[in-house]
Amino acid sequence: MDHSTEKNNRVYFYGEIVSEAAFSHEVYGEGFYELYVKVLRLSGQADILPVTISERLIRGNDLKVGSAICALGQFRSYNKLEGGRSRLMLTVFVRELIEPVSKNPNSIVLSGYICKPPVYRTTPFNREIADILVAVNRAYNKSDYIPCIAWGRNARFVQSLKVGDRIALSGRIQSREYQKRLSDEETVTMTAYEVSVSKLAAFDEGDPFDLDGEFDLYAESLRPQ
């Protein structure tokens, strides 16, 4: 395994399990389960995060509804066929269960490449927002495609970024409900997951990709805010 790719995508979260673990899939005889975890924001609001965890980690740990869980992992994407169309799905893949180490319960650092032109817009209240899709390399020549949202000065900055530009960012994973119209008479409530960016840096083509430097951002993101 290329261990350098593990540094491209690091998540720390601490929260409460709010769903039973449901079987997801099996890889080389090892079963993986999906569950949902409620993670409080520093503001007191909550995000409900999708989490994938190995049966190996479930065994010997009291991971039931209402239990606390603290973990390190990665934010991963995969495609799921729904209604004949491919849909991008996101999940926090747990690599290790740990004891809480930070007052910040939701932290992520990513490094990767812009893979779609950023979309800049303003809200009716003149708040600046930019949507970014970041391709993050994983081991075995795989990539995760992570939607991110930047605000204010960061949103203005990403307007100048192009497809293929390299970036590093830190922030938190957030869940957001929205209404999807199925017909003139019917709508359904959907949940989107994305990274809310707090810090962001771009790298010129000739610059070395300083992964250790990026993880100064990760360590800083774990500090109490």
Q: Among the residues of 86-163, which ranges form H helices?
A: 152-158
Residue entry with tokens 């399990």 = 17
Residue entry with tokens 């899709």 = 133
DSSP state letter for 223? S
The Cα–Cα gap between 218 and 72 comes to 12
> Up-side HSE of residue 34: CA atoms within 13 Å toward CB?
11
**What confidence score (pLDDT) does residue 139 get?**
84
- At residue 224 the predicted structure's pLDDT band, cuts being 50, 70 and 90, is very low
- pTM of the full predicted structure? 0.87
Radius of gyration of the chain (CA): 18
Question: Domain 3-221, CATH 2.40.50.140 — does that match?
Answer: yes
Percent share of the chain, pLDDT over 90: 66
The Cα–Cα gap between 116 and 15 comes to 32
Sign of the Cα torsion 6, 156, 177, 37 reads: positive
pLDDT digits 0-9 by tens, 77-107: 998 777 777 888 999 999 999 999 888 999 9
